[in-house]
Amino acid sequence: MNTNAALSADLLPETAKYPTLLERYRRVRSRTESLVAPLSPEDMVVQSMPDASPAKWHLAHTAWFFETFLLLPHVENYRPYDPEFAYLFNSYYEALGQRQPRAQRGMMTRPAVKSIIAYRHHVDERMVALLQSALPANIADLVELGIAHEEQHQELLLMDLLHLFSLSPVKPVYDRTWPDIKPGRRGRFIAINGGTVDIGTAAKDFAFDNEGPRHTVWLHAFEISDHLVTNAEWLEFIADGGYSRHELWLSDGWSLVQAEAWQAPLYWEQDSSSGEWRQMSLKGLQAIQPDAPVSHISYYEAAAFAAWAGARLPSEAEWEYAASAGILEQVDDAAWQWTQSAYGAYPGFRPAASAVGEYNGKFMVNQMVLRGGADITPAGHSRLTYRNFYRPGQRWMRAGLRLARDAR
């Protein structure tokens, strides 16, 4: 079965040019369920590491999000579907009370997948009724948030599943027909002049709170590559001793390289007889495609590669400015791109006062910004102002890199 049908559904001709909120709600909810179609109940319950969540949990948590932030406050007399679910499926909202510890999400063999699907459909019924009524702007904004939230979890679901399957000794195939990341060519540096530029969202359309306010920054003249670094280039880095030359690495990265014996991106493994590299993917173990962008690398690896290449990572402002200028390729359909910017608040940023305010702001430390989007990111989810963020040692995201350098 081709679960990617769900992906392309987003691209189908539409009756109207702009789908209504209701249509978009239905589409995102339905795609989540089509993503789990190839999975057995067993595949959907196991948690492979504390950073990852079971597929079943993603199914339930995204329903809980709509129930908690839309139905409960904004639908008269709405009663929780199951009062225990607030404990089971709250992710990290401290303001909403106690919750199942993150590292123990895999202990919830019950409720069963089919009960979770029933929960989703119950929420859908009420949400559809709500969406058929006239909505004030603040509620419509929350629906937008809920849709964007579910799209994020669609990507997480695929990331988490790939991680789980990579740990299985039988290396399961999620979908034999899943499309490969589109290959590209090697990048060429494009020069950009410095000066003041404005970045961040001006907030007419939906965006996450962390993308604004729009504000001025000063950029120094720089160069940025039009393509992502490829697997072939990464193989050169490996062949040149990239993983064993301390001088290329940040100190924390070098410690991790040694502690975890990294020798290649996550999911790569070398055949002990032929010496060939393969990588675990949603299609199972596959040969490395030389022209495809490298992925599943940490910030440390991205920075070491850049040092090896005599370059650096772009700042997020450089990236956004260049991307807005339309000069970059592989912007959001291949792999997220590490930047050298630590994740923090834009000038004037202020999180919402309610529980929703915990969405982004409280994570603004110890993380690096990634820009763009990946092949597994739902179509239309990302934006040029979008700020993704992960810890510098994490590797289970679809993260690659695009080089930059100071003007010569």
Q: Is 167 in the site for its own copies (CB under 8 A)?
A: yes
Q: Which helix (H) or strand (E) holds 219?
A: strand 215-219
Contact 47, 61 (CB under 8 A): no
Q: Is 276 in the site for its own copies (CB under 8 A)?
A: no
Write the binding mask 81 to 100 for its own copies: x where contact by CB under 8 A, - elsewhere.
---x--xx---x-xx----x
Contact 90, 111 (CB under 8 A): no
Q: Is 91 in the site for Fe ion (CB under 5 A)?
A: yes
Stretch that binds its own copies, among 69-77, 161-169, 184-192, 202-210 (CB under 8 A): 161-169
List, in sequence order, every residue forming a beta bridge with 219; answer none if it has no partner.
195
Q: Is 170 in the site for its own copies (CB under 8 A)?
A: yes
- Does residue 111 have a cis peptide bond before it, meaning omega lies within 30 degrees of 0? yes
The type of residue at 394 is: Q
Binder of its own copies out of 48, 91, 281, 377 (CB under 8 A): 48
CB of 377 to Fe ion, least distance (A): 16
Q: How far is CA 308 from CA 224, 227, 345, in A?
A: 16, 17, 31
- The one of Fe ion, its own copies, none whose footprint includes residue 91, by CB under 5 to 8 A per kind, is Fe ion
Write the binding mask 118 to 157 for its own copies: x where contact by CB under 8 A, - elsewhere.
----------------------------------------
Name the burial class of residue 358, with classes exposed (0-12), middle (13-18) and buried (19+) by CB atoms within 10 angstroms of its CB. Answer: middle
Contact 4, 179 (CB under 8 A): yes
C-alpha 343/C-alpha 363 separation (Å) is: 8
CB of 215 to its own copies, least distance (A): 6
CB of 184 to its own copies, least distance (A): 27
Tokens 């499309």 -> residue: 179
Listing from the earlier edge strand, what are the strands of the sheet with 404-406? 189-192, 222-225, 404-406
Residues that bind its own copies (CB under 8 A): 40-46, 48, 56, 84, 87-88, 92, 94-95, 100, 104, 106-113, 164, 167-170, 172, 196, 215-218, 220, 246-247, 249-254, 299-300, 303, 312, 340-342, 344-345, 347-348, 358, 362-366, 368, 392, 406
Residues that bind Fe ion (CB under 5 A): 91
